[in-house]
Amino acid sequence: MNPLNAQTTRYRDCIYCGQDTGSEEHLFPASLGGRLTHKGVSCGACNNSFFDIIQALATQFAVINGMLGVRSDHTPKRKGPRPAEGDSALGKITVDAKGKPSLVGPRLKKKEALSNGNVQATTSFGSMKAYQKWLEEKRASGIVPIKSKKVGEFDVFVPEAQFCVGFGGSKMLRATALIALNFLAFKWPKLARTGELQNFKCYVKGKLLLKQGEPRSVWFAPTNAPSMPPAKTQFGHQVLIVADPAGSYARVRFFSTFDLCVDFGRLPTDEVEAFLFDINPLEDSPQKNVIQTSPLEYPARLLPPSTDDVSGHVELLRSRRLDLQEKIEAKWWTSNTEGLLDALNSTSSHKMVERTLAIIELLRPHRGYVLWLGRAGVRLLRESAQDEATQFLADCVEELFAPELNEDDGLSELARGTMEEGLFLLASAIARKLEEGPLTDHQLRLFLTGTDGVHVIMTEVLPFVQEHLKKAYLLRQIYPHTSRHEHDEEIP
């Protein structure tokens, strides 16, 4: 039993309808990484009636959950977090907590008729689950694959993917009110059962219709709103509840980024008291998942906006989301390049040539970043293109990295050659930089994802690609039916 639960064990009537409370309910939504449960807020029927608003909230944060690796408390630990799902030109794509993308659907890679009348096909899958499903479908249709082998997904090539994220709407706001009320009932069970909260509860249940201009109980905190105390964890949620005779209120912050204000109105309380709950969605044990404190400083009450004016909201939410995305990418960087910086710096005893070779080997597992740089380079090239020829070059480079479905890493031979060249040039640039002294993490990051790397790509790799493309396109004009693979063979 959680020690936090001890103080309220005697309240067993639903705060909404007075019936006996149901089973243990999550105070913070399980789908957003809430682990702490409590039996003293709502009955089973009332709790079930909140399913759709909690679901709406979960859907809005599903992509962020996936990118961060937040496991829903309803998903068994062994299954792990559900990756973020997006769309690409090649179909559904997922991205896990390390930023590693995988294509979901099965893809036929090779098919040939054998002399004995059988057909040999190679198909790749994004996951074992997708493979099992495909196997069942094949068996149901009477085809029995006789031999199968697990094949790795593309580890380098990733098509551009789109992830849809949208926030807001009345269900999301009501879900936020529900969370605030859960914590109020948890800390002040008596207060949560007073008649003054009747309207607020109707709002949570969706039974309160607001008239034009009537203040809402929940709204997105404006940019200049006094901020919450710093979160205990980088991507933590926070719930602040304040009992105040002048007006009780709450603040709810999702993923240290999205701030909402909740107004409970005037409740029968004599003194000011506040509790802050820090929820770490990446922490599995309920005890460590929630840290409760009595903050000395916290934002004062804000009065609800009296109009439904939402102008500026889109911009506000957009900039918050971009901030969060940047933090998530920083997290991916750290988890993907662990040990790389030390290894690069410790090549100092090598001579220049050996050093470059050693650096190439160290960078090899990070080829994905080289591809990333290549794309950034193409974008830059396209933006700065003043003439048709440069525009054409940008088109060609983009086509160069079109997915090659028959290859394990999704790269055509020419693209792979370009990647190797990029890797080599980047390694040489890093080796030159290392001559001046050890690299910092910031410098390494600039090399592999930012300005330094793009500079190398633009000034050294692009001319190389241009030369090769000239030959390839020249040959294609002469032999339009030959494949790109054959072009390479014919280049002297």
By beta-carbon proximity to Zn ion, the closer residue of 46 and 431 is 46
By beta-carbon proximity to Zn ion, the closer residue of 185 and 444 is 185
- 461 secondary structure, DSSP code: I
Binder among 11, 14, 30, 36 for Zn ion (CB under 5 A):
14
Strands across the sheet containing 218-220? 218-220, 258-265, 248-254, 237-243, 273-279, 290-293
The answer to whether residue 17 forms part of the interface with Zn ion (CB under 5 A) is yes
Write the interaction track for Zn ion spanning residues 46-75; mark x where CB under 5 A is met and - where it is not.
Answer: x-----------------------------
By beta-carbon proximity to Zn ion, the closer residue of 43 and 373 is 43
Applying CB under 5 A, which part among 18-26, 226-234, 335-343, 395-403 lies near Zn ion?
A: 18-26
Backbone φ, ψ for residue 344 (5° rounding): -65, -45
> At its nearest, how many Å lie between Zn ion and the CB of residue 44?
8
The answer to whether residue 184 forms part of the interface with Zn ion (CB under 5 A) is no
> At its nearest, how many Å lie between Zn ion and the CB of residue 321?
35
By beta-carbon proximity to Zn ion, the closer residue of 12 and 190 is 12
Applying CB under 5 A, which part among 16-24, 161-169, 259-267, 368-376 lies near Zn ion?
A: 16-24
Q: Strand, coil or helix: what is 85?
A: strand
By beta-carbon proximity to Zn ion, the closer residue of 42 and 280 is 42
Please give the residues from 387 up to 426 whose contact with Zn ion meets the rule CB under 5 A.
none
The answer to whether residue 16 forms part of the interface with Zn ion (CB under 5 A) is yes
> At its nearest, how many Å lie between Zn ion and the CB of residue 40?
12
User: What is Dmax (Cα atoms) for the chain?
Assistant: 89
- List, in order, residues 6 or more apart from 126 with CB less than 8 Å away: 94, 102, 103, 104, 105, 153
- List, in order, residues 6 or more apart from 50 with CB less than 8 Å away: 42, 175, 178, 204
CA distance 8 to 187: 8
Query: What burial class does residue 75 get, using C-beta atoms within 10 Å of its C-beta: 0-12 exposed, 13-18 middle, 19+ buried?
Result: middle
By beta-carbon proximity to Zn ion, the closer residue of 17 and 491 is 17
CA distance 78 to 425: 42
Strands (E), 191-313: 218-220, 237-243, 248-254, 258-265, 273-279, 290-293
Backbone φ, ψ for residue 198 (5° rounding): -55, -50
> At its nearest, how many Å lie between Zn ion and the CB of residue 275?
24
Applying CB under 5 A, which part among 13-21, 144-152, 176-184, 307-315 lies near Zn ion?
A: 13-21
By beta-carbon proximity to Zn ion, the closer residue of 17 and 343 is 17
Quote the crossing angle between the two packed helices 367-384 and 388-400, to the nearest 10°. 160
Applying CB under 5 A, which part among 11-19, 123-131, 268-276, 348-356 lies near Zn ion?
A: 11-19
> At its nearest, how many Å lie between Zn ion and the CB of residue 15?
8
Residues in the site for Zn ion, rule: CB under 5 A?
14, 16-17, 19, 43, 46
